[in-house]
Amino acid sequence: MEITLTQKERMLLEDQKSHEQLCIQKYLTYGNQVSDNQLRQICFANGQSEVSHLDSLNQLLCGKLPQMDQQQSQTAQQSSGGAQTACFSDEDICKDLLATEKYVSGAYNTAIFEFCNTNVRDVLNHIQKEEQKHGEAISQYMISKGMYAVQ
């Protein structure tokens, strides 16, 4: 299905694209820095999902509606090297990733309301829900490790 975007919609997608690129970079970098294997797996899994989000945004910018039920063929590259010396603790990394996911999810929420095309809104809503799942995985990890106080 071909779609036509307004200038404002195109600008919003470009903003989201830069957010996804930052998320990919953070998840891959942090995935190679963390000391806990469970957290490493969360980082790499979320990084792969972010690559899929970026692909969907690129398709929208090209005027194509992405198929949300298809598995994306791109994968995030993972380092198979040994553990690297971390500049931040696992807790600091989790806090940064959770803050990033909160921001990105909120930005998708704003963008969704700006689009006229229901199908594009559905794509952005799907991505937003996955961003929320990323945040949920991080917060559940933090709670399990005593890094996040639930009151």
- Domain layout of the chain by residue ranges: 7-66+86-144
In this predicted structure, the answer to whether residue 53 has a pLDDT above a threshold of 70 is yes
Quote the pTM value: 0.80
Q: What are the φ and ψ backbone dihedral angles of 52, each rounded to 5 degrees?
A: -65, -40
96-145 tens-digit pLDDT: 999 999 999 999 999 999 999 999 999 999 999 999 999 999 999 999 99
SS3 of the chain: the string is CECCCCHHHHHHHHHHHHHHHHHHHHHHHHHHHCCCHHHHHHHHHHHHHHHHHHHHHHHHHCCECCCCCCCCCCCCCCCCCCCCCCCCCHHHHHHHHHHHHHHHHHHHHHHHHHCCCHHHHHHHHHHHHHHHHHHHHHHHHHHHCCCCCCC
Q: In the predicted model, what is the mean pLDDT of residues 50-73?
A: 85
**pLDDT score of 79:** 43
Distance CA 10, CA 80 (A): 37
Q: What are the φ and ψ backbone dihedral angles of 76, each rounded to 5 degrees?
A: -75, 140
67-85 tens-digit pLDDT: 876 544 444 344 444 444 4
In the chain, the N- to C-terminal Cα span, in Å, equals 47
Q: What are the φ and ψ backbone dihedral angles of 2, each rounded to 5 degrees?
A: -85, 140
Domain spanning 7-66+86-144, CATH class: mainly alpha
Is 123 in contact with 56 (CB distance < 8 Å)? yes
Distance CA 146, CA 113 (A): 37
